[in-house]
Amino acid sequence: MIYLFCGILSSAVLGAICIPLFKKEDTLESAIIEETQWDLLQRKKEVILGNIQDLDFEHKCGKLSDEDHQRIRNEMSAEAAVVLQEIETIESAKDLDALIRREVSARKTKSKPASSTTSCSSCGASNPPSNKFCAECGAKIKR
């Protein structure tokens, strides 16, 4: 009975590990953040956190003594702390770079429609080139 319970729990734990992994890939702006060292560290983090979860789980199921659980958990936590620290360092350095690139691409898309508008000869309002009449005053736009 206890094995069945463990089996159900472990599949729940597995699901909990896998779901955020997939979500992260969807929302991650992979075009902006280059995944090299950062990606590697993320995977490392997931593995360590997964191991900690497994450890807690085995302890809960009575496979590990309190002492063993505490000792291994401390080791794993220290390892996780190092990885998290490294991720933070990379992210803080990359954020600035990504921000600049985002700003540059935002500027590019903004300047495009501005240069292709037609200004009304009556009131000077800018209209999209497809407009035959001014959206502001209704005058015919000459080309």
Residues that bind Zn ion in the complex, under the rule CB under 5 A: 120, 122-123, 125, 134, 136-137, 139
The least distance separating Zn ion from the CB of residue 135, rounded to whole angstroms, comes to 8
What string of H, E and C letters represents the secondary structure of the chain?
A: CHHHHHHHHHHHHHHHHHHHHHHHHHHCCCCCCCCCHHHHHHHHHHHHHHHHHHHHHHHHCCCCCHHHHHHHHHHHHHHHHHHHHHHHHHHHHHHHHHHHHHHHHHHHHHHHHHHCCEECCCCCCEECCCCCECCCCCCECCC
Nearest CB to Zn ion, comparing residues 10 and 127: 127
Least CB distance from residue 113 to Zn ion, whole Å? Answer: 18
Q: Whose Cβ is closer to Zn ion: residue 51's or residue 131's?
A: 131
Q: Considering beta carbons, is residue 42 or 127 the nearer one to Zn ion?
A: 127
